[in-house]
Structure 1
Amino acid sequence: MDDQPLRVLVVDDEPLATERLQLLLARCEGVDLVGTASDGEGAVRMSEALSPDLLLLDIAMPGLDGIDVARAMAGRQPSPAVVFVTAFDQFAVAAFEVAAVDYLMKPVDPARLERALTRAREHLRRSTSEPTPAASVALARGRYLEEFWASDLTGLVRIASRDIDRVSAERDYMRLHVGPRSWLIHHSMAALEEGLDPELFVRLHRSAIVRRDFITGFQRNPSGRWIARLADGAEQPVGRLYADSVRAIAGR
């Protein structure tokens, strides 16, 4: 992959947006623009015919939208990397769900495009060096999530699991708290509890997971319920089902 140009297909229903991406890509080294498509159906057909390495893909298009195209491409072998290019930031969670490599806001900044191309190359390099599916399943046992990707106004942000102070549930989303900042991701609390390293994290409530070293102490409230004191001064009630976690942490 390093020795070959990155073969890119641009998909956007706005001619001016397509032209701008073409001009930006012409300034990037190691990139081969193999074609452009103006709708989702055309993107699928051209992907089948041209086998691009990367789709620079608009989301809001009539008919088959960008998310639909990404889902269709995910079933291909090999499947291209996907970078969404859109004027709307509300699609970032959906982009995360279809494993987009990056998420660029229009008008695209040249430096951000270069970073997205780098991420696409790294993604393709990893995908070609991964073991077979059977081996991947065996390798996954005993491993835990090392990072998350969440959206902000500039695109997608990488959050290392070890940096997360706590996780709180908000309806169908989970909020990752890192210092004074927080991000929403579309995961279930059960999936996060299973995916986070139990040596580092503990579930204290049906709607809360906390990094163990972020807990500074426990106290009981007037009703006898445990309350965890956290390093940022916040307090986290401990659910009755998780009281054993308090005793385990305290060695009792």
Structure 2
Amino acid sequence: MRTLVVDDEPLATERLQLLLARIGGVDLVGTASDGEAACRMAEVLEPDLLLLDIAMPGLDGIDVARAVRSHDGGPAVVFVTAFDQFAVAAFEVEAVDYLVKPVDPARLERALDRARAHLARRGTVSAVEVGAGDGHLQEFWASDLTGLVRIRSSDIDRVSAERDYMRLHVGQRSWLIHHSMAALEDGLDPALFVRLHRSAIVRRDFIHGFQRNASGRWIARLADGTEQPVGRLYADSVRAIAGR
């Protein structure tokens, strides 16, 4: 992530620089000591992320966050401040996270992970590739510790829901994206994928068979040896796959 640090305290800026130097996947593109300079640098450098102090002379951090927002969202913003009373205002400008000085290194890493996830979700919306003529989703962009990863839809074994996120399972690895299950069901090619549960979509050729449990409910046996219960609302999918 291309990162711009904004703080009017030189020691605070230096500490953030040292912490960022120990974290992979971060490219520090510049530092600014006031809000006006931050806005100018953000326009020229186009950073992915602002690590932004709030209490500064002239334009404060909240003003800067508003100023750098654009039609495509602008950079992700993580506030780094000595005060905790600005948290409500920070999230009103859609800050990704809010850190209180002195910054804990582990807490900073979690904030950067959230920023990556935020950028990846935005990338998923704008950079999902749709197949020519069929309107189906062909790929997704997901974040990991090294940056962004392109995942072809045809490589996905299954999708499982985790609260507001969907986990894409590909072999032994998995990635979280911010999508609804309904949107994925509508976007993925039904010739390749089938929804078996309110929280699960499975690639059809990843299903090795079905069996009934003691209560009579269908269980899908998957190629990786795991089992996926079939929701009662999706029992017709089993019959359709089996041609019955």
AA aligned to 1:55 is E
Deviation at 1:73, TM superposition (A): 2.0
Q: Which runs of 5+ in 2 are unaligned?
A: 8-12, 18-28, 54-60, 79-107
Map 1:121-132 → 2, pairs under 5 A: none
Alpha-carbon deviations, 1:66-96, whole Å to 9, x = none?
98677x2235xxx98x699985223222122
Deviation at 1:224, TM superposition (A): 1.1
1:142 aligns with 2:134: yes
Map 1:77-226 → 2, pairs under 5 A: 88-99=112-123, 142-226=134-218
Closer, same or farther: CA 146–60 of 1 in aligned 2, 3 Å: same
Closer, same or farther: CA 216–93 of 1 in aligned 2, 3 Å: same
Check the 8 A contact 1:200/1:211 in 2, yes or no: yes
Q: Which runs of 5+ in 1 are unaligned?
A: 1-8, 19-32, 102-122, 127-135
Q: Which residue of the partner structure matches residue 112 of structure 1?
A: none
AA aligned to 2:122 is V
RMSD: 3.9
Three-state SS of the structure 2 residue aligned to 1:59 is strand
> Percent identity between the aligned chains?
62
Partner of residue 234 from structure 2, selected from 216, 230, 242: 242
Check the 8 A contact 2:39/2:64 in 1, yes or no: no
Closer, same or farther: CA 171–198 of 1 in aligned 2, 3 Å: same
1:74 aligns with 2:71: yes
TM-score by length of 2: 0.62
Closer, same or farther: CA 69–224 of 1 in aligned 2, 3 Å: farther
Q: Which residue of the partner structure matches residue 57 of structure 1?
A: 48
Check the 8 A contact 2:121/2:142 in 1, yes or no: no
TM-score by length of 1: 0.60
